[in-house]
Amino acid sequence: MGWTLVVWFLDSDPKAFFHELLVLALNCCYPDLQATLDYSCTEHIHPLRRSLWDAKLLIKTLDATKGIHKVESKHLSRVSRATVKVSMADAAYQSLVFYRGRRFEKAKYDATYHYPRFMPQERAWTIEVPDATVLKLQAQVLLTSELTFKVIKLEDELRCERELLEQEQREADDLRAELGRPKVHQRIRSEPILMDAALEE
């Protein structure tokens, strides 16, 4: 008994919030890339626990000389999620923040100007704060900034809790082994099952 993996290759719902924003950003600011988006999601399955999901998003660009797509960047969900859709949204969000920062000048006057963006030189993210004379917008942006920091802090705490839980599970398995009982939390070393399917509604 233990954890097994199933890897799903999925297409996102085109109306999923962060996926749709990412597609718009790539089309508007990176038309030269002719980018395509490929999601792969790993389902972590245990007979005694609920499944956990990790998502990986590959942004691919067309290689004109070879006529094939190559990987331009890779984006991962920050923590394991309870559902595949939330995991995919997390990966899409990480990608959106990254690409908005790389060519921020092109997005300077669009509706997403005050969204979080990545700063390549500083390797950190930021939010543009509006002029103090626009009080309502400034208040909304500051709230968004604080909520974003709060989410990041909660994700970091969740990752730490996950690591502590995994350590406790390993220790419990070691004790079971000493008592001559089978381990129940080990990862079963086998090739993951690969699945190609559409998202369920």
CA distance 2 to 186: 5
pLDDT value, residue 76: 94
pLDDT value, residue 200: 58
State the average pLDDT over residues 105-117. 74
State the average pLDDT over residues 2-17. 91
Higher pLDDT, 19 or 128: 19
For the stretch 156-179, pLDDT in tens is 888 888 888 888 888 888 888 888
- Work out the mean pLDDT of the chain and round it to a whole number: 85
- Residue 19 exposed, middle or buried by CB count within 10 Å (0-12, 13-18, 19+): buried
Residues with Cβ within 8 Å of 183's Cβ and at least 6 positions away in sequence, in order, are 1, 2, 173, 176, 177
Mean pLDDT: which of 62-66, 74-78, 136-140, 184-188 is highest? 74-78
Whether 128 contacts 145, CB under 8 Å: no
Higher pLDDT, 112 or 76: 76
Whether 89 contacts 18, CB under 8 Å: yes
Lowest mean pLDDT among 17-26, 161-170, 188-197: 188-197
